[in-house]
Amino acid sequence: MKDFRIIQAMLAPLARRAATDLTSLTRFVTAASRRPSHSVRRAVATTASAAMADDKFSLPERYKGTEKNIWVEFIQLALEHKPLNLGQGFPDYGCPKHVTEGLAEVMHDPNLLLNQYTRGYGHPRLVNALAKLYSGLLDRTIDPFTEVLVSQGAYGCLYNAILGHVKPGDEVIIIEPFFDCYQPMVKIAGGTPVFVPLRPRQDAAARADGALSSADWVLDPAELRAAFGPRTKMIILNTPNNPLGKVFTRPELELIAELCQSHNALCLSDEVYEWMVFKPAEHIRIAGLPGMWDRTITVGSAGKTFSVTGWKLGWAYGPAKLMHNLQVVHQNTLYTCSTPLQEALARSFEHEMSLMGSPECYFTSLANDELRPKRDYMAQFLTDCGMKPVIPEGGYFMVADWTSLDKSKIDLSPYTPGKPDDHRFVYWLVHHHKLQGIPPSSFYSAEHKKLAEHYIRFCFIKDDKNLEKAESILKELKKSME
Amino acid sequence: MSAMLAPLARRAATDLTSLTRFVTAASRRPSHSVRRAVATTASAAMADKFSLPERYKGTEKNIWVEFIQLALEHKPLNLGQGFPDYGCPKHVTEGLAEVMHDPNLLLNQYTRGYGHPRLVNALAKLYSGLLDRTIDPLSEVLVSQGAYGCLYNAILGHVKPGDEVIIIEPFFDCYQPMVKIAGGTPVFVPLRPRQDAPARADGALSSADWVLDPAELRAAFGPRTKMIILNTPNNPLGKVFTRPELELIAELCQSHNALCLSDEVYEWMVFKPAEHIRIAGLPGMWDRTITVGSAGKTFSVTGWKLGWAYGPAKLMHNLQVVHQNTLYTCSTPLQEALARSFEHEMSLMGSPECYFTSLANDELRPKRDYMAQFLTDCGMKPVIPEGGYFMVADWTSLDKSKIDLSPYTPGKPDDHRFVYWLVHHHKLQGIPPSSFYSAEHKKLAEHYIRFCFIKDDKNLEKAESILKELKKSME
């Protein structure tokens, strides 16, 4: 009887917690069934203290596994070694003057309310400009209030789309290589990623000169078909693709469109590099394909469009029914974005839209006049030093095969053992030649990292003098290998 | 049958309802009806595919959407939503313009994810001084998209399914949906006007008269309590929690191993003799407190949408993880400008020119007193706030026989209907404070209306004449 009351007293706190902490109660009962009563007391004490230990303030389950981030690692590496940094993707020279001047003007505007709260789903002047722009490009009338959402960068829009649509148990197809944030966002939403890799094709190269091109990296249609199933909620498409620079062709998009429709799945199309496309490649918006407007959410970026990655404004557009879910996530996460930045961005859009079709329009001059020469220059000096670049059709990154260098002169052993070779090569290059790239295996799922091991990613939206510095560093590297 | 069953069976792991409906229908009806039952079931299942995930259900409606819409339709004098309608300190806007002309072009490119170095250094320095401890700018300070975004990071970063979160009412409306999204259960503890002698010598109602019942607060804490959310100064009441009140909260947090999430966005808007006390500075509390601040409120630029959280590294880690997976980094130029403005004001700290003191003493106090006076004159009973820039007033002392609420939002609490009445009849807009209460406690707020007084004097004067008209119309 005494034992019963003792046990009951010990049980009470565990029972109260049992709805959320069944483990502790189970341990206690198991212990009690096996041992005499003084041991039971000890078992309870051990159980209780284990339950009270630091697990209380640990990360919630949904975030476990998302703590590490490659940018933290490589920004740290750059801080320590101060290399010529062609790693993280941002321009190190100026944006169009009207962009920065525009924000300065907003600060001097007599309308003081431009520094106060604006409409939650997007500043009216900006959503109107975006709706007008994309209505023209898609040849349909897009409603600025129900079909356009402005959030904290394209990153924030991807978050709104994934968290707003992916339910526990849903599958999300991610084409590899992928921008690293897609995977943790799917996990946080409780979804399961299904990876489908791009691979360099084995037959004839796309380019007439025989050089490798991002166009040579293709999906296996059978593999893509097999990835779609009854649990598929969404496929995430990134075109132009980071890091390859691949610009998906119409037939490739049509296959994705066909599968989305037959499986009633959404397409989340990350098109942040939409204006960085090198002729003859052409950016095609999957939302404009037949049957796709109703099941596509497209994401864009002010940072990439106007070369101001630090402004962190992005947008998503799509049918009202689907956009509603993004609005709900947005209003519960951060509610509204910066008014002055949105006002300035609206003015800059109006300016460029008045120039559309002309060569002065930044939407065309950025790719044609600024980036293309830099791309070609980088491809040439990477080739000269012995690497094999994959010429991108879009974007501002280039991956290059470094394994054509003399491997006997590259000792990777001191660097990040256990990691894929490209990761170790990035460290080697920083230590030996003070030049930083990013390992493309970071953009692959665990099971496919080997596909990227031979490559390194460099960013070419850099001032010419920095590209020239890169060229001399690589000339040195070549010399050191002779 | 097998062909019809196959798609439902494949989905059954996540959609048992549809399969069950099918089987139930099949067991009851002849085969052509079964086909129809299946078709209905299938289309119902398909429509549900793009519905909101469970975690967001119930969070779609938002009072701001409703009242911004009301204002758009009727164009009243708007003393509803809280933002200044006049200028911020000149160095703030000038600062951002200067950043645009800075030769350092990288000020328009990505900065550090957890907060621009110059800004987190300024914030760490500021709060280190105020809390008399050394705060590490890199591991103990996080900058996010407004205080709103920081609250999100804190709640989503710490609340697990099954956790309880104590919310003191009235509360800023976003706390409740965020707790729901995290899978937590809110436990509401209301502030109530006390029955004994009012705090103010002149007998007028004060936010200091609104207090918690200590026994009720104690009872709210339990083994599942993860967190209590404190907002001081409080929106909408303007209550500034006293040291004894904070000490009780601190005692309960420690005895229950719970966190305190302290929303202190109005920290600089405190009217003497009230004093803003940071609970993170109380004994034993640094290690279990996350404090949130706001650029929009500190510098009167609500449209800049930058906020920060500070606390011990172990707790802040969780906020960093949520932040890096949600939006990764905030605007560089805004953070740079804000850092410069902080440095400027910090060099003036202690002097009357410092905006951190002049805002409350020179600008807001007179506006507060003016509003209290014209609300009293027209027959309402204002609750004088000790802090913040909102004032609630009891409108039920007006002649109710002259106020016909019947056409307005039937079924809603009376304050909600009164706000509509006031907009329709007198083109003046406030916010119903019952919006800041849980469903079970909305009655506590029905007699009040909330007005914002951080408005240009000419607009406050307009409000006074509108209310004079109202009074006349009731005679």
Q: Is residue A291 part of a domain?
A: yes
Cα–Cα dist B107/A40, whole Å: 63
Q: What is the mean pLDDT of residues A76-93?
A: 92
A84 and A210, same domain (yes or no) = no
What does DSSP say about strands A397-401 and A455-459: parallel, antiparallel, or unpaired? antiparallel
Q: How many angstroms separate the CA of residue B117 from the nearest CA in chain A?
A: 13
The upper half-sphere exposure of residue A168, i.e. CA atoms within 13 Å in the direction of its Cβ, equals 7
**Close Cβ partners of B138 (under 8 Å, ≥ 6 residues apart):** B114, B120
Query: Are B371 and B388 in contact, with CB atoms under 8 Å apart?
Result: no
Best CA proximity match to B290, nearest among B186, B156, B107, B423 = B156
Cα–Cα dist B464/B371, whole Å: 8
E strands in A109-241: 148-151, 171-176, 192-197, 199-200, 217-218, 232-238
Q: What is the mean pLDDT of residues B29-53?
A: 61
The upper half-sphere exposure of residue A340, i.e. CA atoms within 13 Å in the direction of its Cβ, equals 33
Task: At B143, list the tokens.
Answer: 């900058």
Q: Do A230 and B7 touch (CB under 8 A)?
A: yes
Cα–Cα dist A54/A48, whole Å: 12
- If you measure CA to CA, which chain B residue comes closest to A167? B53
Q: What is the mean pLDDT of residues A380-394?
A: 97
- If you measure CA to CA, which chain A residue comes closest to B91? A107
Q: Is residue A63 part of a domain?
A: no
Q: How many angstroms separate the CA of residue B332 from the nearest CA in chain A?
A: 5
Q: What pLDDT, in 10s, does the model give residues A315-351?
A: 999 999 999 999 999 999 988 999 999 999 999 999 9
pLDDT for A482: 86
Tokens 């190190």, located at residue: A92
CATH number for A383: 3.90.1150.10
Q: What pLDDT, in 10s, does the model give residues B394-428?
A: 999 999 899 999 999 999 999 999 999 999 999 99
Best CA proximity match to B279, nearest among B296, B300, B258 = B258
* pLDDT greater than 70 at residue B76: yes
* pLDDT greater than 90 at residue B34: no
CATH number for A180: 3.40.640.10
A211 and A314, same domain (yes or no) = yes
pLDDT for B69: 84
A199 and A230, same domain (yes or no) = yes
Q: What pLDDT, in 10s, does the model give residues A205-232?
A: 778 787 899 999 999 999 999 999 999 9
B-chain CB neighbours of A19 within 8 Å are 162
Best CA proximity match to A300, nearest among A160, A158, A135, A132 = A158
Q: What pLDDT, in 10s, does the model give residues A360-376?
A: 999 999 999 999 999 99
Interface test with B, best of A49, A68, A115 (most B CBs within 10 A): A115
Q: Do A153 and B327 touch (CB under 8 A)?
A: yes
Q: Is residue A465 part of a domain?
A: yes
A216 and A314, same domain (yes or no) = yes
Examine residue A230 and say whether the peptide bond preceding it is cis (omega within 30 degrees of 0).
Answer: no
Query: Quick one: A418 exposed, middle or buried, by C-beta within 10 A (0-12, 13-18, 19+)?
Result: exposed
The minimal CB distance from B109 to the residues A90, A112, A165 is found for A90
Q: Is residue A346 part of a domain?
A: yes
Query: Last residue of some domain: A322, A353, A384?
Result: A353
Query: Last residue of some domain: A331, A353, A375?
Result: A353
**Close Cβ partners of A404 (under 8 Å, ≥ 6 residues apart):** A386, A387, A388
pLDDT for A334: 86
A197 and A345, same domain (yes or no) = yes
Query: Last residue of some domain: A327, A353, A379?
Result: A353
Q: Is residue A112 part of a domain?
A: yes
A246 and A326, same domain (yes or no) = yes
Q: Do B327 and A338 touch (CB under 8 A)?
A: no
Identify any residues that bridge with B425 across adjacent strands, giving them in sequence order: none
A279 and A246, same domain (yes or no) = yes
Amino acid identity for residue B14 in this structure:
T
A41 and A81, same domain (yes or no) = no
Q: What's the pLDDT band for B195 if we cut at 50, 70, 90?
A: confident
Q: Is residue A86 part of a domain?
A: yes
Residues in chain B, overall count: 475
Tokens 């995930």, located at residue: B53
Q: Do A310 and B108 touch (CB under 8 A)?
A: yes
How far the first Cα of chain A sits from its last, in Å, is 88
pLDDT for A1: 45
Q: How many angstroms separate the CA of residue B228 from the nearest CA in chain A?
A: 14
Cα–Cα dist B164/B427, whole Å: 42
Q: Is residue A340 part of a domain?
A: yes
- If you measure CA to CA, which chain A residue comes closest to B102? A100
A33 and A143, same domain (yes or no) = no
Q: What pLDDT, in 10s, does the model give residues B229-259?
A: 999 999 999 999 999 999 999 999 999 999 9
**Close Cβ partners of B96 (under 8 Å, ≥ 6 residues apart):** A103, A104, A107, A340, B333, B334, B337
Task: At B161, list the tokens.
Answer: 């399914």
A136 and A181, same domain (yes or no) = yes
The minimal CB distance from B84 to the residues A104, A116, A156 is found for A116
The minimal CB distance from A334 to the residues B64, B85, B148 is found for B148
Exposure b/e, B269-286, CB count within 10 A at least 16 = b: bbbeebebbbbbbbeebb
- If you measure CA to CA, which chain A residue comes closest to B159? A60
Task: At B475, list the tokens.
Answer: 């005679």
Q: Do A325 and B224 touch (CB under 8 A)?
A: no
Report the domain count for chain A: 3
Please indicate, yes or no, whether the overall pTM of this predicted structure exceeds 0.95. no
* pLDDT greater than 50 at residue B45: no
The domain of A380 spans: 68-94+363-480
Q: Is residue A358 part of a domain?
A: no
**Close Cβ partners of B123 (under 8 Å, ≥ 6 residues apart):** B115, B137, B141, B143, B293, B308, B310, B342
A245 and A317, same domain (yes or no) = yes
Cα–Cα dist B450/B159, whole Å: 31
Query: Are A182 and A236 in contact, with CB atoms under 8 Å apart?
Result: yes
A155 and A73, same domain (yes or no) = no
Q: Do B85 and A310 touch (CB under 8 A)?
A: no
B-chain CB neighbours of A338 within 8 Å are 303-306, 331, 334
